[in-house]
Amino acid sequence: MQVHGKDIKVFSGNANEPLARKIADRLGVPLGECKVSQFSDGEIRLDIYETVRGSDVFVVQSTSEPVNHNLMELLIMIDAFKRASAGRITAVIPYYGYARQDRKAKARDPISAKLVADLITVAGADRVLTMDLHVAQIQGFFDMPVDHLLGIPPIIAPYYSEKFQDSKDEIVVVSPDLGSVTRVRSFAERLDIPLAIVDKRRPKANVSEVMNIIGDIQDKKVILVDDLIDTAGTIVNSAQALMERGAKEIYACCTHGVLSGPAIERIAKSEIKELVVLDTINLPETKRIDKIKILSVAPVFADAIQRIYDDVSVSTLFI
């Protein structure tokens, strides 16, 4: 069997070291010895304390808040490993920042998701491993292999299947907008439960207004499903609208808990009974309120990394 690199080495930036450590533990390897710090003027400093020559290096770094700092850490780490003669470098980006800037929505808009892809390429990455891109087409922004993992089917769907195994006839899965219907339909089919859709409009960024509910949610327990929750305005407004239209209980889930600005306060005061998020973004203790449950993506990423190293299919993880 052909393998790329003499061994697997997993390194972490500062964005999500707890996840990187879990991934390394699942693989049965120690987390790589390096330190990412700053010089007094704010420039990023990287010290690598072990050889990576000929190794299959996996750099775990979500480009979450502070987005630009974490992105720069990732680029500098990739560059350093390339110059240290790593056999292959895979950028493991559980949460890909700038993914929502994937097209020109109006005149003179940048396509920042493409720019970030170009930066990662120029830095020297050979491959990208990520999860639940805001739009799957971002894979095409890279001139290298991109393994696009899914968080909802292997992690979140089984959680709800067990949670509501005795009351499936009371459950409806709801898409918070028309753009998420394909993702949410897959979730509904996996649980074999009906689907409803929130019809909304977005007058400006981070603001949404619910116009209508498509589907039957009367006296139902509702699960709102999205790829990410940022300021929580959409999910909270949707939950309120669903309760006003007859829903019995509201649950919500997402892959990426960005949870910026007023998000935690909004969720705490909302009709949402429980919010399930994955640990693609390291949630600080100050944001870990009782309503939020965190599930880990480490098993899926560890399995994918092992498959990449062994040169076997990653897509079979989701069959």
Q: Report which of 257, 297, 309, 295 is spatially closest to residue 130, judged by C-alpha positions.
A: 297
Beta strand extents in 123-206 (DSSP E only): 127-131, 146-149, 171-175, 195-204
Residues 6+ apart with CB under 8 A from 233: 206, 207, 208, 266
Q: Is the Cβ–Cβ distance between 270 and 240 less than 8 Å?
A: yes
Could you tell me if residue 192 is left (phi over 0), alpha (psi between -120 and 50 degrees) or otherwise beta? left
* CA distance linking residue 228 with residue 287, whole number of Å: 16
Query: What does the H/E/C string look like for 44-75?
Result: EEEEECCCCECCEEEEECCCCCCHHHHHHHHH
My answer on whether omega of the bond before 153 falls inside 30° of 0, hence cis, is no
CA within 13 Å, CB half, 198: 32
Q: How many Cβ atoms from other residues are within 10 Å of residue 4's Cβ?
A: 16
User: Would you please indicate which residues are annotated as catalytic (active-site) residues?
Assistant: 200
**Strand pairing of 292-295 and 207-214?**
unpaired
Percent helix, strand and coil across the chain, each rounded to 5?
Answer: 35, 30, 35
